Amino acid sequence: MPLDATIARVTARIEARSEQMRSTYLDRMRRAADEGPRRAHLTCGNQAHAYAAMTGDKDTLAEGRAPNLGIVTAYNDMLSAHQPFETYPQVIRAAARQAGGTAQVAGGVPAMCDGVTQGQVGMELSLFSRDVIALATGVALSHNTFDAAVYLGVCDKIVPGLVIAAATFGYIPGLFIPAGPMTSGLPNDEKAKVRQQFATGEVGRDKLMEAEMASYHGPGTCTFYGTANSNQMLMEFMGLHLPGTSFINPGTPLREALTVEAAKHALSITNLGNAYRPVCDVLDAKAFVNGIVGLMATGGSTNLVLHLPAMARAAGVALELEDFDEISSVTPLMAKVYPNGLADVNHFHAAGGLQYMIGDLLDAGLLHDDVKTVAGDGLSLYTREPVLENGAISYRDGPRDTQNDKILRPARDPFQATGGLKQLYGNLGHGMIKVSAVAPERHVIEAPCRIFHDQESVKTAFKAGEFTSDTVVVVRFQGPSSNGMPELHGLTPTLAVLQDRGLKVALVTDGRMSGASGKVPAAIHVSPEAANGGPLARLRDGDVVRVDAIKGTIETLAEDFDSREPVQADLTGNGHGVGRELFEAFRQNVGLASNGAAVVV
């Protein structure tokens, strides 16, 4: 089928908007590639330091004829999703030797768990950790001894940070290697029910702890469709994974075989051979459009609306919120995965997963097939799924029919006609809303607002029984300049309880929600933020606020709104404790949320 007209128009607009920036970027990448293998420019002393600890590989490295693979790892055992990476370097080194090359751990990057810091002070460092990860990767690859790189990362800020760095070093090939989701535990809807029961005092902390431990129970990514699993989807839609690798569980023979295959493949596409495939050629405007289509079709995390513009800018591509809005308007919602449904990512994968979805979207003309990927030319390569035969990876055609239409549907018969993401404009600023899990009767909320300056104050008011009528809850001074833009996911159970009591409620904030946010309408990422004098700083308790996801507007009806002086909050407490002192330069220099809230790009 021909490419959808809206997808074609948006892609052309992005390419035109990015023309100068992209041209400058590609020129830099070409000149860097023309310098030849990195190690050729090191002195003997430089090289001796680089190879000193490489027992068994020193001669191969010193000769400089075989490709050397740099491993950038986000391993730690604080993140269940990253714990499996502990053994990956030795697997990759062995695979590289077998393929006639070498591999070295170039460096590690920090990887915090938002599940641990959710609602805690540490969450104020979470978004900024993306830029730190990009910087740390830059330091790792600055040794200039690598012909290609593999990136070991899965979760929320880690993949975007690694992509920013991979694009910056775009003259070398780069391949992302995932670890896969944990096996299914307590169903996510049952866990959410216990959370709401705890919020209302129906159950104690012992029952809450029991439910949480039964849900998050082993190695691998959390099984709901939040930011981490949205990242994995994105890496396939954008051609940075090997096909079919995202949702294979850790500790399985297929998972390890895919890691071996990824290492060998990365060595095969360096500038030393005839199949050179640098990251700069993979990450073009079409790849980012494909990623946005995937985000909309799967009902993915709103956090990616922050991350994708920052990732794209590192590759010389300029994305705007209007691009997300228009792509969403023509992309059908094909998946129902928690919090948008009852299934988890393991069920989604079993129902046909990304291979079915990519094939169906290609057939519908909603994806660019004419792209370069790490696997070869054409996104249609990603309709294949890997199988393990006699200890080696081979590929077969993926499913062409859904295996469970309660989880995964074709584009011609979707759960919803659109991806459910809208940009919002109005006298309260520029933001976005995700309504794929919001009931249609709640797509427009108009009610008096109640102003708060942190999420704990909302919970306190709830426990005091102060919410008795329809309310727009405004939580301001939560943007990146205020306090690093922590997720306000802790508000989800509270607001859901109010909604279940029959009240019309909405959230408006210059902060962000989790990738696990769901059925409560939330206008998020509103910018300019209150700390920079944005419109939210002029709101007062009782002002009528209208959030309209149909028209794409966010506004107050207060007559004297424009003449008011913005409120200034005391933010001095946000600058110290739990490492916040170290991030003052980030808070002072961060960009607008509508442009990705980035510091380094």
| Residue 474 half-sphere exposure toward CB, CA atoms < 13 A | 28
Give the C-alpha separation, 300 to 420, whole Å.
Answer: 10
Q: How far is CA 132 from CA 36, 163, 312, 579, in A?
A: 29, 12, 17, 13
Q: How far is CA 408 from the centre of its chain?
A: 21
Which residues contact residue 429 at a Cβ distance below 8 angstroms, ignoring those fewer than 6 apart?
510, 526, 527, 528, 534, 535, 536, 554
- Asked whether residue 222 is marked as a ligand-binding residue, the answer is yes
CA–CA distance, 8 with 472 (Å, rounded to integer): 38
Whole-angstrom distance, CA of residue 279 vs CA of residue 497: 46
Cα separation, 205 vs 227, in Å, equals 27
In one-letter notation, the amino acid at residue 291 is G
Length in residues, the chain: 601
User: 280 among the known binding-site residues?
Assistant: no
Q: Where are the alpha helices (DSSP H) in 466-597?
A: 480-483, 492-500, 584-589
Contact assessment for residue 352 and residue 344, using Cβ atoms and an 8 Å cutoff: no
Are 4 and 368 in contact, with CB atoms under 8 Å apart? Answer: no
From the number of C-beta atoms within 10 Å of its C-beta (0-12, 13-18, 19+), residue 533 rates as middle
Cα end-to-end span (Å), the chain: 37
Could you tell me if 435 and 518 are in contact, meaning their C-beta atoms sit under 8 angstroms apart?
Answer: no
C-alpha dihedral over 591, 592, 598, 600, to 10 degrees?
-20
In angstroms, the CA 22 to CA 26 distance is 6
Q: In whole angstroms, how large is the CA radius of gyration of the chain?
A: 24
**Do 524 and 593 touch, CB atoms closer than 8 A?**
no
Parallel/antiparallel/unpaired status of strands 392-397 and 384-389:
antiparallel
Nearest to 249 by CA among 376, 344, 355: 344
Count other C-beta atoms under 10 Å from residue 290's C-beta: 29
What residues form the annotated binding site? 155, 222
Cite the annotated binding site for [4Fe-4S] cluster by residue number.
155, 222
